[in-house]
């Protein structure tokens, strides 16, 4: 049992599934729970996808909680068409997995986050890879957790390049810019793993073939899921030659910050109409102590080697 404890806050699509696998494969952390969010899919389907992936990987011991079902400023969630195109209608590349035997937890995911922060304190690592609605709600309900959580590393935002849903906004931040702004301007210290680094970190069919060659169900299913993702990426940028490892890179950086080069910054998230979702330095806090480390470069080759070592071993051991 590892001293470090991790909670993933996911809108479980394809790269979220890879994030789950990375966390399970890492030897130096215990994944103690998953909180579901909306985004790639609706919250209930995301939660069920997380349970399916956990069961595929032999970890029915890990609970999955549902968080908020829509943004902090709306009363419903409409899934974007681009999400269905990239992740498939079912969120996991149209690959069919058995219905999970473990049900979703009845407790609120927001309450689970708060309780875990109180219980584990600096040993807790939180990795949100969807909208920040759940974390913003937890901070609003229990502001003290901003000083209790040991490590918050999130996938989202773009500082040195355009967004991927608008010229200004990355998808996760765009889902709830107000919540993201509340988190980034709170006392909570965090590391941003945005498009600046995730689009440099690619997986190809060469790697998924290695999973097929294992001859295990887990390897075959994950290869099918990720090959769908790779093909979907061709619609948007055929020059990449693979798919970006957005969410699993955030998990990797949470466990080993040396994968990335960062700059220290105080950040705000714009939520006016013209630049909604833009993540940018806060000119009102230029001379104040900083609370965000923004990833701007990544050691992609070393990260990919660790990623493949963790996941291939995991898939090999799950027949």
* Cα(6)–Cα(16) distance, integer angstroms: 14
- In a 10 Å sphere around its CB, with 0-12 CB exposed, 13-18 middle and 19+ buried, how is residue 269 labelled? buried
- In a 10 Å sphere around its CB, with 0-12 CB exposed, 13-18 middle and 19+ buried, how is residue 241 labelled? middle
pTM (2 d.p.): 0.97
Q: Is 189 part of the annotated catalytic residue set?
A: no
Catalytic residue among 87, 227, 246, 247: 246
Contact yes or no for 261/297 (Cβ under 8 A): yes
* Cα(49)–Cα(120) distance, integer angstroms: 26
Among 229, 231, 151, 226, residue whose Cα is nearest residue 193: 151
Q: What's the pLDDT at 81?
A: 83
Rounded (5°) CA angle 139-249-70: 40
- Pair of tokens at residue 258: 């040396």
| Residue in the block written with tokens 């190809």 | 204
Q: What's the pLDDT at 13?
A: 95
Other beta carbons within 10 angstroms of residue 232's beta carbon come to 18
Q: Is 59 part of the annotated catalytic residue set?
A: no
Catalytic residue among 11, 15, 16, 247: 11
Q: What's the pLDDT at 145?
A: 98
What are 8-46's pLDDT values in tens digits?
Answer: 999 999 999 999 999 999 999 999 999 999 999 999 999
What are 90-133's pLDDT values in tens digits?
Answer: 999 999 999 999 999 999 999 999 999 999 999 999 999 999 99
Task: Identify the CATH number of the domain defined by range 4-317.
Answer: 3.90.245.10
Q: What's the pLDDT at 235?
A: 79
| Residue in the block written with tokens 């849903």 | 165
Backbone dihedral region of 269: left (phi > 0), alpha (psi from -120 to 50 degrees) or beta?
beta
Other beta carbons within 10 angstroms of residue 272's beta carbon come to 8
Q: What's the pLDDT at 238?
A: 67
Contact yes or no for 110/126 (Cβ under 8 A): no
Ranges in the chain, pLDDT < 50: none
């Amino acid at each position: 049992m590892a001293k470090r404890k991790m909670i993933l806050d996911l809108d479980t699509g394809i790269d979220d599934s890879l994030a789950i696998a990375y966390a399970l494969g890492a030897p130096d952390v215990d994944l103690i729970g998953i909180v579901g969010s909306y985004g790639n899919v609706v919250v209930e389907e995301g939660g069920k996808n997380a349970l399916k992936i956990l069961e595929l990987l032999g970890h029915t011991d890990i609970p999955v909680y549902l968080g908020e079902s829509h943004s902090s400023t709306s009363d419903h969630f409409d899934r974007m068409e681009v999400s269905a195109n990239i992740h498939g209608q079912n969120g996991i590349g149209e690959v069919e997995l058995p219905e999970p035997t473990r049900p979703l937890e009845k407790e609120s995911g927001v309450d689970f986050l708060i309780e875990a922060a109180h219980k584990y304190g600096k040993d807790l690592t939180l990795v949100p890879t969807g909208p920040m609605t759940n974390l913003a709600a937890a901070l609003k309900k229990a502001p003290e957790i901003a000083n209790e959580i040991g490590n918050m590393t999130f996938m989202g935002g773009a500082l040195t390049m355009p967004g991927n849903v608008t010229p200004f906004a990355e998808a996760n931040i765009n889902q709830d810019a107000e919540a993201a702004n509340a988190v980034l301007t709170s006392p909570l210290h965090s590391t941003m793993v945005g498009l600046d680094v995730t689009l440099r970190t690619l997986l190809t069919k060469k790697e998924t073939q290695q999973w097929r060659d294992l001859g295990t169900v887990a390897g075959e299913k994950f290869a099918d899921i990720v090959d769908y993702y790779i093909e979907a990426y061709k619609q948007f940028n055929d020059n990449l030659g693979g798919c970006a490892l957005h969410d699993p890179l955030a998990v990797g950086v949470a466990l080993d910050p040396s994968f990335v080069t960062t700059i220290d910054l105080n950040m705000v998230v714009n939520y006016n109409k013209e630049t909604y979702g833009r993540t940018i330095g806060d000119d009102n806090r230029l001379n104040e102590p900083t609370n965000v480390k923004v990833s701007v470069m990544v050691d992609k080759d070393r990260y990919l080697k660790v990623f493949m070592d963790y996941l291939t071993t995991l898939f090999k051991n799950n027949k």
